[in-house]
Amino acid sequence: MSSELHYKSNLRDTLFQLFEVLEVQSTSLGKAPYSSMDEATAREALKASEKLCTTELQKGFAESDRIPLELDANGNVKLPEALRRGYETFYDAQAHMLTVPEHLGGMGAPPSVGWATFEFTAGANAPLAFYLFGTFAARTIDRHGTPAQKERFIGPLLERRWGGSMVLTEPDAGSDVGAGRTKARDAGNGIWEIEGTKRFITNGDFDVPENIVHMVLARPEGATGGTKGLSLFLVPKFWVNEDGSLGERNGVVVSKLEKKMGIKGSATCELVFGDGKPARGVLLGDVHDGIRQMFHVIEQARMAVGVKSMATLSTAYLNALAYAHERVQGPDLLQAADKASPRVKILKHPDVRRMLMSQKAHAEGLRSLCLYTAWVQDQVEIAGGHGAKEADELDKLNDMLLPLVKGYSSEKAYEQLALSLQTFGGSGYCQDYPIEQYVRDQKIDSLYEGTTHIQALDLFFRKIAKDGGRTLTKQLDEIEKLAKSDAGGSALAEDRAALERALADVKGIFGAMMGKVGESLYHVGLQGNRILFALAELVIGWLWLRQAVAATRGLGERPEDAAFYEGKLAACRWWSKNVLPGLTLTRKLIEASSLELMDVRDEAFG
């Protein structure tokens, strides 16, 4: 097998989750602002995206890892030819217009459909997927920009295929965005001059589009410290005149390309603004509201990272499954004593089955978490959009789910990828198969756009404690409603009982933490990741039970698809028996949380 043709999609599961579990055909499609997209159109778009990714976009995956990016003396990054072709193929297919609103000439697909197609792209070629940020930059300007800014930037971003980047991190600040020192000086006439250095900027430059629009956080002169003093600026690589035509090269250049463990085809850049030449920009929306505006961008990025992790695990699992169907090695364990017993496919070995079912349950469980969160985003927009009173509860639910999507997906995908590689044995460690690149390309997901612990602190303090646990309680009530129902009949009684026990454990976890926070916030620091994982595993357990109910229905309606539905029931049962019971231990560990580790002298770690 060539890792060049590595990607294995799971369109069948995507369609199942969207149309049989979430039922987007009645809950999302055909409702404003998605009025013109019906089920047939959505299905066709999903199939077209999957075909584009499996036949074309995956082709540059291995090459992007093997052929280095090049940085010239003028701060321009040159991509390998395969990535250039992938970028152009994506735009030639008009795939970027799927999620663009109708009023901008796009298809206006809801987030549920949009994120499903992003999974295909990220699974097929993750480095390429992140070069396609220009469309989101256009949507951000459409949401926050002035009429003049929309006229100036959106058309070229969509029609002339401009790139985009989000520019937050600084060398001395790292994840502490509020410590950023990049300055912005008002030069008059609506122009600001940016000065400073930014680091770890994903795709901060590449030579395919004629221009790149950087969305840059900077502190205007005289502004307060911390995050509240930051503003968001549009700083193009080439200046954009008011009529949309291109001017001279702007004062923003790449000073360094990071040498990385993985996702090597993605240009991770150090950008210098205003060194020897002014880096001109415009204030987005003409308002100093940078951190709120950028959080909209960050949330998109965190969702993308979580979906990327899930996509990588899914294709790794399907590659491992295909190998297990083909590889013959050793006798059946029950016949091992007989030297003459036939060799069997490794799929017959119990330990291989254990690893495969773990991968399946996590990959498809993570897909359910990602698509459920995307569905909530559908409902936010249908209810009036971010900031609308009618959408407030849904908005908060989306906010609470995002740390689970980003934090749990990135951590568990990496853990499960080790099982994907293990399924291959020694062959998985070699570049004959794509798994070793998957492992290297995916590890970054737990690090960028906020590390896992940042997600955990965000979940506990900003998404749960800040609103008095109301959003959490409503989600737990939904879980309890299903756990105490008779959904799926007697066949799912054991799974419903397991979910109810896990729910009690999670309630116990939060109850214990409420008491311990009064003693010290260090308890949240010590136990935060466990809390995030426990809530994610409970929510996924609920989603698995919903899948199992839909699968039970599908078995009766479509017996020709029995193997698919039986696989769903088996994976649900596996989650009930192998993941949910672990929440009891997590609860005990959190209830026993102590501060003794914080009392260990620094020198004792030496």
Reported as a single tens digit per residue, the pLDDT across 573-602 is 999 999 999 999 999 999 999 999 999 999
Query: Which 8-state DSSP code applies to residue 464?
Result: I
The lowest-confidence range among 3-12, 33-42, 346-355, 444-453 is 3-12
pTM, full prediction? 0.96
Residue percentage of the chain with pLDDT more than 70:
99
Report the distance separating Cα 210 and Cα 239, nearest Å.
11
Residue 308 has pLDDT above 60, yes or no: yes
Please check whether residue 7 is in contact with residue 1, taking contact to mean a CB–CB distance below 8 angstroms. Answer: no
For the chain, percent of residues with pLDDT exceeding 90: 93
How many CA atoms lie less than 13 Å away from 591 in the CB half-sphere? 12
3-state SS of 341-356 is CCEEEHHHCHHHHHHH
Q: What residues contact 23, with CB distance under 8 A and at least 6 apart?
A: none
CA angle 162, 168, 174 (to 5 degrees): 145
| pLDDT tier at 3, thresholds 50, 70, 90 | low
Cα gap 99→136, rounded to integer Å: 9
Any residues with CB less than 8 A from the CB of 73 and at least 6 apart, and which?
none
Q: Is the pLDDT of residue 133 over 50?
A: yes
> Which two tokens mark 42?
């959505």
Buried b (16+ CB within 10 A) or exposed e, 342-369: eebebbbbeebeebbbbbbbbbbbbbbb
Tokens describing residue 259: 């040498």
Handedness of CA 314, 319, 325, 328 (dihedral sign): negative
Are the beta carbons of 258 and 268 closer than 8 angstroms?
Answer: yes
pLDDT tens-digit map of 263-276: 999 999 999 999 98
pLDDT of res. 14: 98
pLDDT computed for residue 336 by the predictor: 86
Q: What is the pLDDT of residues 522-531, one digit of tens each?
A: 999 999 999 9
Q: Tokens 């994903």, residue?
A: 202
User: So which residues are the catalytic ones?
Assistant: 449
Q: What is the per-residue DSSP string for 154-198?
A: HHHHHHS--EEEEE---TTTTT-GGG---EEEEEETTEEEEEEEE
pLDDT of residue 323: 98
**Averaged pLDDT for residues 240-262:** 94
Rounded to 5°, angle at Cα 60 from 58 and 66: 135
Phi-psi region of 389 (alpha: psi -120 to 50; beta: other; left: phi over 0): alpha
Distance CA 290, CA 232 (A): 4
